[in-house]
Structure formats: C-alpha cells, structure tokens
Structure 1
C-alpha cells in the first residue's frame, strides 16, 4: 500500500526544513514502513518503542553504519512528532532511543526436548498444606493449577504465543481429530496444529471438570481458558506459570524461549515451509532466522568433539 506523505511534507515545510532534508526524512519513513510490513504492523501509528529498537537492529544487520542509523532515528522522531500533532499517537517511540545504548538482541538458550517435556510433566497441580502457609481459596487455587498445566502443554508442544492461547475458543478444539485451530494474531498466521494424545486427554478433563468449576454458574464464555469471577488478566496467569516453570528448571528465562526451543526442534524434523506454517510465521524469513540456533548447536558439537588444538 502506498503511503501519502503530502500532509507530512507540508508539516516539515512549515517547520522550516529544506526540500532535500524532507526528501531524506520521507525516504527513511519509507524504510520503516517496508520493515513494518514484514512484521505485519498494519500502520506506523501502531509502532512501539520495542519495534523501533527492532528496526534499528534490522538496519544495522543490513549493513547501515552507526552514523546512518543515528540519522534514521533523527528523521523518525520528526515523523512521530507529526503523528502526535495529528492526534494519531500519544508519544514518540523514537524519542528516548540513543544509538550507543542499544544492545544486541539476546539469543535464547534452546532447551532440549526432554526438558520441555519435563516442564509439563512436573508442573505442580497439588498444593502442600501447611499450618504456616495457606493459599486461600485452596480449591480454586488447585483448579487454576490444573488449567495452567494444560496451558503449559500448548507452550512446550505447539509453541503458541500467549495472545494465541488467550484467544482460543471452544469451537477451535477439534478433539476427536486431535487438532487445534489457532487464529491469526497481529504477527502470526492462522493454522491448524496436531495435539499429542496426552494433551487431548488433559484438555478433555479440563473442559468437563476444571473449567466448569472455575466458570461462574451464570456465565457464558466461549474462551477455552477462563478465570475465577470472570477475570481477564491472562498476562497474570502466564506470569504465575512462568514462576512455576523457573522453579522446575532454572534455565527457563521467559515464554519466548520456550517458543524458540519448539521451533528449533521442528526445524530438525521438518522442512522450512512446514515449520513456517506450524509456527504461524507470515514470512519464511522469520522461520529462517531460527536456523542460526541449529548452526550454533552444530558449532558447539564441533568444538566439543573436534576441538582445535
């Protein structure tokens, strides 16, 4: 889609910028827009601080010098200042970024399949009752843990994102076929994924026993995963899950790490296009980025078994 920059150009002219400077600014905004499309960002007004950091890293990895990228930020600040003046955004996501403060994106430590499976198997659903420490209400806490174990299965087997799990509805479960339909989100595509047999059993138990007890009697909710009193703080749920997972395995850092681990293991078994579909990547380049973990693992094996003396 072509972007009409006429009003933005007029804004810059009124600010006193030269025609050459305006042309450069508009060109840099075009760079951001092309990057945003690859990330499935529908409008630059949706761009966040983290998105600008990602764009800067992308520009640097594409060969742009530090001086050039610093110039990009200067031009982008003008654009977001204009969006503020138009009432399209509340703040400028590029205003606080200093190039020298940008760190390289940290790589995830890829967890072995056995460790992922252990996270599910050892997820605690029982509560240790002690006189010194009670966690009321105990019954509801127990139900929430059973729900969270089912969610953990979707994290470590299907590599689903939090927003994808939160959006799941009852009609998306095709348990007779052992399938689950995942709807498109901002940065992922729709797909249908296979469930493990033990997941099917766990989900059925959750639906018929746990969910009906968590959900208020007069509530009608189509979402698979519900909270007591009709709550909708799914982020809080996933933070509790992450806390338990870290206790099981100290190598667990965040939920993105679990997804990355699942995708890398898929790449060892399936072709690139299949993994692209399973991961919900809208662009194959997103899937290809995970190949670096395979190369890193191969290099580690080479150094382990064939060290350079």
Structure 2
C-alpha cells in the first residue's frame, strides 16, 4: 500500500490531502526520513517553529505521526520517533494587544495594488478581504469550497476544525461582487490546469492553495507596517476590535468560531493592561 492510499483509508479526504502535502514536503527537504530519530524530527520541527504558528505546527506534527505509523505498518521501521512529541503551545497564539492592528490599518490591506501575477489579482483580493472581514484561520481558508459561498444569501460557511466551530458569516457587498466574478471567470480559467476538487481558492497551477501560499501573500504586505503582519495577527486584531466596540462576547465567540467562551475573553483587555503590556515588552531595562 502506498502512502497516499494509506492516508485516504485512515482519514477524511481533506485531512489526508493536507497530511500528504506536509509529509512530501518533509521528505523532499530531508534525506532518509524513514530512519529519522526523535532528535532529527525535533530539529525539523524547531526549524519550522521560526515561521509557523503553533496551530499550524500541530497539524504538521500530526501528519508526521501518521507518516511514521505508515512506516511501521508497512514494516519499514519498528518504532515511531514522533510518539512522545507534544506541543504545549498548540493553542490560540497569545494575544499581544500592543502588536495588533486598528480597523483603519486593516482597511489599508484592501486597497487595490499591482500584483506580480495579474491573473491572481482577484483571488488575492478575496483572500485579504476574507481575512479582514471574516477573520478565518489560514487553515480554514485552505479548506473553503465553492459551495461554501452563497451569493444569494450573501453568506460564507466556514467548516469546523479541531480548534474552531462551524459558522455561517455574512459577506460584505464588495465581497459579493469579487466572489461572483472570481468564481465565474478567474477561477474557471485557473481550474483548467489541474483537478481542483471544488476548492474555492486555487494557485497559479490550478491546485488548491496551501498555508504556505497564504503566508507568502501576507508577507508581501509587510513593508507597509512596522508591526508583524500574519494571518494570526490579522485574526486577533479583527476579534479584538469587535470587542473594543462593545459587541456582545457570545456574538464575537460565534463569529470567531471559538469552542470556549474563555478563549474569546482573552481578547478583552483594559487600556491600563494594554499599556502595561507595552511597557513590559519595550521597556529599555528589559
């Protein structure tokens, strides 16, 4: 049994696809991974930690665990070097309020710009608008299917993950126009290259986008800001701004897809606490 068939026989299709991608990347970037020790796997994980949030690393680790389970089942090795690896920080990234973005700063991301690949202009605008208006995680973005969009009702359905609940959120008027054109024109042009399996957001080769594509796209906006811009800081900023405007805590919980109310409560912070956080981080004696 090859790896792809093994994953599909043990996991849901979307999960199998994601795991297969991360395992292949792991094998391409490293030699003799089938004989890796615990130490070698941890070195790889620690290298990824420099560029990926904890939630993304958690998904990659699960993929590697499944890879070594496959090697055991096929008789290639007898032990699983990832068995005892756990992430204590595999949860919502701690909120540093002084590093978040105002509504005005987030709106600047929506301004049209010249793209390196003109045929991806509309897709990129949609990705950014979804991040700014609906605040999905990068993983949720990669799992969006075309049928998640209901243009008549002006809604988008975001599927549940291990950390977030399913939710249906309203679309802005400008998003409806962008999505209509993209789905009926730009996406159709992209999907002729390869099978896309009904995924909404496609790359330049017609295959579904990956988290790495979102990371790269957001990085191209970084020069506009001194604060670190990531999908996580955008999401945290949107949620924090909603709460600062006095929106009901449970409404914001539903919007964000948080499984527990205390997760949403972490985004609430008084002005004094925000000032203290800034002092703690930037005081010259620290």
1:290 matched to 2:239? The reply is no
State yes or no: 1:180 paired with 2:156. Answer: yes
Say if 2:88 is the partner of 1:112: no
Distance (Å, rounded) in 2 between the aligned partners of 1:90 and 1:181: 34
Change (3 A) 1:232 1:294: farther
Confirm or deny: 8 A CA contact 2:154 2:170 kept in the other structure: yes
SS at match of 2:136: coil
User: Is the radius of gyration larger for structure 1 or structure 2?
Assistant: 1
* SS state at 2:135 partner: coil
The answer for unaligned runs of 5 or more in structure 2 is: 1-44, 55-71, 73-77, 278-286
State the partner residue of 2:84: 92
Relative to structure 1, is the Cα distance of residues 188 and 202 closer, same or farther in structure 2, using a 3 angstrom cutoff?
same
Instruction: Name 2:42's counterpart in structure 1.
Output: none
Work out whether 1:274 is the aligned partner of 2:274.
no
Which TM-score applies when normalising by structure 2?
A: 0.61
After TM superposition, the structure 1 = structure 2 runs for residues 74-153 of structure 1, keeping only pairs within 5 Å, are 90-93=82-85, 107-108=96-97, 109-122=99-112, 124-127=113-116, 141-153=117-129
- Match among 229, 244, 249 for residue 253 of structure 1: 229
Please give the secondary structure, in 1, of the residue aligned with 2:156. strand
Within-5 A mapping of 1:195-210 = 195-210=171-186
**Aligned counterparts of 2:147 and 2:276: Cα–Cα separation in 1:** 45
Aligned residue in 2 for 1:165: 141
Change (3 A) 1:263 1:90: same
Deviation at residue 92 of structure 1 after TM alignment: 2.9
The answer as to whether partners of 1:160 and 1:259 remain within 8 angstroms in 2 is yes
**In structure 2, distance between residues paired with 1:253 and 1:277:** 24
Give distance in 2, aligned partners of 1:295 and 1:275.
22
| Superposed CA RMSD | 3.2
Change (3 A) 1:227 1:253: closer
Deviation, structure 1 residue 126: 4.2
2:12 equivalent in structure 1? none
User: How many residues are paired up?
Assistant: 200
Distance 2:108 2:198 in 1: 30
CA distance in 2, matches of 1:273, 1:205: 34
TM-score, normalised by the number of residues in structure 1: 0.57
- Deviation for aligned residue 1:240: 2.1
Judge conservation of contact 1:111–1:258 (CA < 8 Å) in 2: yes
Runs of at least 5 residues in structure 1 that lack an aligned partner in the other structure:
1-47, 55-83, 98-103, 128-140, 301-309
Instruction: Give the Å deviation of 1:218.
Output: 6.6
Displacement after TM superposition at 1:269 (Å): 3.7
Cα deviation digits, residues 32-68 of structure 1 (max 9, x gap): xxxxxxxxxxxxxxxx998xxx9xxxxxxxxxxxxxx
